């Protein structure tokens, strides 16, 4: 009986010990969490269309790059003074259509015959999120323009960066290509427009890369490995001033009128040749009579065998 009591007492002591140990463990965890909060530690996570750069350091130590936080990553703790910068992962567009949400107005170009035209369109691309390349982009360009994301949307710095690294190269490329074509061909000739688009594409990709200094802007489907590829351009037909469009429409209308008049003249000439042939065969009076009969102004009446003819004047 005494042995049983002793065993029960020992089991109770062990149970109380486990409870105390659990309480101590929870207290330690709480202290650690409170320590993180008190020391200024934060945590970040990434969305499926977002990548982050993590930099460690603070007011009293050098800021150093730590790592890239890939898309759809769970909570990552940042130490005191650490910072992270978010950039878009996946397809993005530089829109120069002039619409309300566009990054830019249409781009102005000058044709071979010195006519100013406006071109709307877009450049579709993917920011190169290869970790080493993205870090280089951030330190060379992103910090300068403040191009990293703020919250869930792009920043004004992102727009300013695109206007410099896309609009200016596109402007140069379009102007250079446009010097090879007259405005009417750019506006009205599908073959000329296709040639112009191909030339703009070649020059734009070259100038964008030269301006950026590296392959920071890749093809829309780029996934971070392999060949970066080229930005995809979508360009609308160049639009000249409305006054030239109206003048071109009037010119086309005049051409159609001239063509119609030529057809009328051809018909009249044919009729004259026909009359000449009638005169040659029937003589002048015979030709006049024939024409009157054809026009219904003279009615031919058959003569009966008895020679009696009744003529009724034609009512007019």
DSSP string, 158-197: HHHHHIIIIIHHHHHHHHHHHTTS-HHHHHH-HHHHHHHH
- Integer Cα distance of 170 and 233 in angstroms: 10
Q: Is the dihedral of CA 140, 165, 211, 70 positive or negative?
A: positive
Share of residues in the chain with pLDDT > 70 (%) = 69
| Residue boundaries of the structural domains of the chain | 39-89, 90-240, 242-297
Which of 99, 108, 95 shows the shortest CA–CA distance to 238? 108
Q: Are 129 and 53 in contact (CB under 8 A)?
A: no
Contacting residues for 115 by C-beta, under 8 A, at least 6 apart: 182, 183, 240, 241, 244
The more confident residue out of 251 and 193 is 193
Most confident by average pLDDT, 17-26, 56-65, 143-152, 170-179:
170-179
Q: Does residue 34 have a pLDDT over 60?
A: no
- Integer Cα distance of 196 and 182 in angstroms: 11
Share of residues in the chain with pLDDT > 90 (%) = 42
- Residue 16: pLDDT band by 50, 70, 90 thresholds? low
Q: Does residue 297 have a pLDDT over 90?
A: no
- Residue 303: pLDDT band by 50, 70, 90 thresholds? low
Q: Does residue 143 have a pLDDT over 90?
A: yes
Q: Does residue 133 have a pLDDT over 90?
A: yes
Q: Does residue 155 have a pLDDT over 90?
A: no
- Give the model's pLDDT for residue 163: 93
Backbone angles phi, psi at 92, to 5 degrees: -135, 165
Q: Are 173 and 207 in contact (CB under 8 A)?
A: yes
Domain 90-240 fold:
Tetrahydropterin Synthase; Chain A (3.30.479)
- Give the model's pLDDT for residue 61: 76
Q: Does residue 55 have a pLDDT over 70?
A: yes
Of 55-59, 91-95, 155-159, 186-190, give the lowest mean pLDDT range. Answer: 55-59
* Average model confidence (pLDDT) across the chain: 79
- Integer Cα distance of 309 and 311 in angstroms: 6
- Give the model's pLDDT for residue 257: 61
> At CB < 8 A and 24+ separation, what contacts does 38-42 make?
39/80, 40/80, 40/81, 41/77, 41/78, 41/79, 41/80, 42/77, 42/78, 42/82
The predicted model gives 287-311 an average pLDDT of: 63
- Residue 164: pLDDT band by 50, 70, 90 thresholds? very high
Q: Can you say whether residue 151 is alpha, beta or left, with left for phi > 0 and alpha for psi between -120 and 50 degrees?
A: left
Residues 200-213 have pLDDT tens digits of 999 998 999 999 99
Rounded to two decimals, the pTM is 0.64
Q: Where are the alpha helices (DSSP H) in the chain?
A: 2-38, 131-137, 143-145, 156-162, 168-178, 183-188, 190-212, 242-294
The predicted model gives 243-248 an average pLDDT of: 70
The more confident residue out of 26 and 179 is 179
- Integer Cα distance of 143 and 134 in angstroms: 12
- Record the tokens describing residue 245, joined without a space: 């469009």
- Integer Cα distance of 152 and 171 in angstroms: 30
């Amino acid at each position: 009986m005494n042995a049983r009591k002793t065993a029960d007492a020992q089991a109770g002591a062990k149970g109380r010990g486990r409870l105390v140990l659990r309480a101590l463990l929870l207290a330690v965890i709480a202290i650690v969490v409170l320590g993180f909060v008190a020391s200024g530690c934060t945590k970040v996570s990434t969305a499926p269309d977002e990548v982050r750069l993590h930099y460690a350091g603070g007011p009293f130590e050098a800021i150093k790059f730590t790592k890239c936080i890939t898309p759809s990553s769970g909570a990552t703790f940042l130490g005191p003074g650490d910072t992270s910068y978010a950039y878009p992962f996946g397809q993005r567009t530089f829109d120069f259509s002039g619409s309300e949400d566009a990054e830019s107005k249409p781009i102005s170009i000058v044709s071979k015959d010195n006519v100013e035209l406006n071109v709307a369109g877009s450049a579709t691309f993917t920011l190169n999120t290869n970790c080493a390349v993205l870090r280089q982009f951030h330190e060379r360009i992103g910090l300068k323009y403040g191009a990293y994301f703020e919250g869930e949307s792009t920043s004004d710095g992102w727009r300013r960066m695109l206007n410099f690294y896309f609009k200016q190269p596109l402007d140069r490329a379009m102007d250079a290509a446009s010097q090879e074509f007259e405005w009417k061909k750019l506006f009205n000739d599908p073959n000329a427009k296709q040639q112009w688009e191909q030339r703009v594409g070649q020059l734009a990709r070259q100038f964008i890369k030269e301006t950026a200094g590296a392959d920071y802007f890749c093809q829309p489907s780029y996934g971070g490995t392999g060949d970066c590829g080229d930005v995809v351009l979508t360009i609308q037909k160049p639009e000249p001033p409305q006054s030239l469009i109206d003048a071109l429409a009037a010119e086309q209308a005049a051409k159609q009128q001239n063509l119609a008049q030529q057809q009328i003249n051809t018909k009249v000439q044919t009729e004259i040749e026909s009359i000449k042939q009638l005169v040659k065969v029937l003589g002048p009076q015979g030709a006049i009579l024939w024409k009157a009969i054809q026009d219904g102004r003279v009615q031919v009446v058959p003569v009966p065998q008895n020679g009696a003819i009744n003529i009724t004047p034609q009512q007019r």
